[in-house]
Structure 1
Amino acid sequence: MTTSDTPVTIRPFQSADWPAVLPILRTTFQAGDTYAFAPDSTEAEIHKAWVELPAATFVALGVGGEILGTYFIKPNQPGQGAHVCNCGYVVAPAAQGQGVASLMCEHSQQQAVAMGFRAMQFNLVVASNVRAVRLWQHLGFAIVGTLPGAFRHHTLGYVDAHVMFKTLVA
């Protein structure tokens, strides 16, 4: 997918992308303020969670082919809950604030429908990550629950986390 108004291409992850994707993920996880991954997660743990377990992983590329971000999509639950997907998005620090997360989320919704998912759920949106909460709301996600103190933030301590949901197919 190439967007018409911005020079970003989103395509399926390829194994050759890993050397560029890993530092983006590692930087985000080590910050300890948005993802539940342990800051000291090993490369093997990160690869398994981001590439091996999901149904699909994608990368967002800039004009020069540089990786601006990545996302995964997977069933949120097995069996009778497998029609609802879960996604995770990470944008490279240098590309943040440029609409990459929004483009990836829009792309993931299209992919989710194509893969047969009927809805999308984010299980742990850190409440102090106001920029993400606002973006997901802008893209049609609703806060359907708040988990008190569910996230151990690196600097703020225990903070609330939201469960956010969007129906994709009526």
Structure 2
Amino acid sequence: MTAPIRVATADDWAQIWPFFQSTVAAGGTYAYPDDLTSAEAAALWLETPPGITIVYDDGVVLGSAKMGPNRPARGSHIGTASFMVAPEARGRGVGRALAEWMIDWHRREGYRGIQFNAVVETNTHALQLWRDLGFRSVGVVPGAFRSATHGYVGLHVMFLDLTEAGDPAEGDHGGG
């Protein structure tokens, strides 16, 4: 069965905002300001072309991801993405489904790789998911994130090479 993933619309923001707000407030994964208004957060999350924002909509929006070029111009051949899943949907495969869709989208759009600039080292579930999907850590910036519960922790820079042949999940791409 295909995951219920579709391109987000502005009307979806009312369902994304509560889990966006709670994720940022938890202080463990994103460096967004705690005092963002809903409108400010929507402007950050709802991508415009060449980027795209998607939702996992199973009758209710359970997760969202945004993706597009990591950098403009001479860096636009490498993509990036960000993900948020509603607390009640965590551990149910929503993040993995969004991630697989995101990788396929980057391939279809002709990107040569996907770079995550800041995966918090204490976010072990995300690190494991990215490694399972073929990403490797190309470095850790020590103390670059101030976690609400762990203090200063490192940020992994992770990369998936989309020019490699075969399914990246099948090979041993290291990580860490």
- TM-score by length of structure 2 reads 0.88
* Cα pair 1:113 1:169 within 8 Å, conserved: no
Q: Can you list the C-alpha shifts for 1:96-115, whole angstroms capped at 9, x where unaligned?
A: 00111111000001111122
Equivalent residue number for residue 66 of structure 1: 60
Moved more, 129-138 or 113-122: 113-122
* Cα pair 2:47 2:66 within 8 Å, conserved: no
- Rounded to whole Å, the distance in 2 between the matches of 1:148 and 1:109 is 27
- Rounded to whole Å, the distance in 1 between the matches of 2:119 and 2:145 is 9
**Which of the residues 28, 36, 40 maps onto 2:35?**
40
- TM-score by length of structure 1 reads 0.91
Amino acid at match of 1:66: V
- Aligned residue for 1:169, secondary structure, equals coil
Q: Can you list the C-alpha shifts for 1:50-95, whole angstroms capped at 9, x where unaligned?
A: 1145710000012xx1111000002101111100011001000000
Equivalent residue number for residue 107 of structure 2: 113
- Rounded to whole Å, the distance in 2 between the matches of 1:43 and 1:92 is 16
- Rounded to whole Å, the distance in 1 between the matches of 2:140 and 2:47 is 29
The Cα RMSD (Å) is 1.3
Amino acid at match of 2:156: H
Structure 2 residue runs of 5 or longer lacking an equivalent are 165-176
- Aligned residue for 1:116, secondary structure, equals coil
Amino acid at match of 1:57: T
Amino acid at match of 2:110: G
Number of corresponding residues: 163
Pairwise mapping of residues 50-65 of structure 1 onto structure 2 (< 5 A)?
50-52=45-47, 55-62=51-58, 65=59
Note if 1:28 corresponds to 2:10.
no
Structure 1 stretches of 4+ with a deviation exceeding 2 A read none
* Cα pair 2:78 2:111 within 8 Å, conserved: yes
* Cα pair 2:117 2:158 within 8 Å, conserved: yes
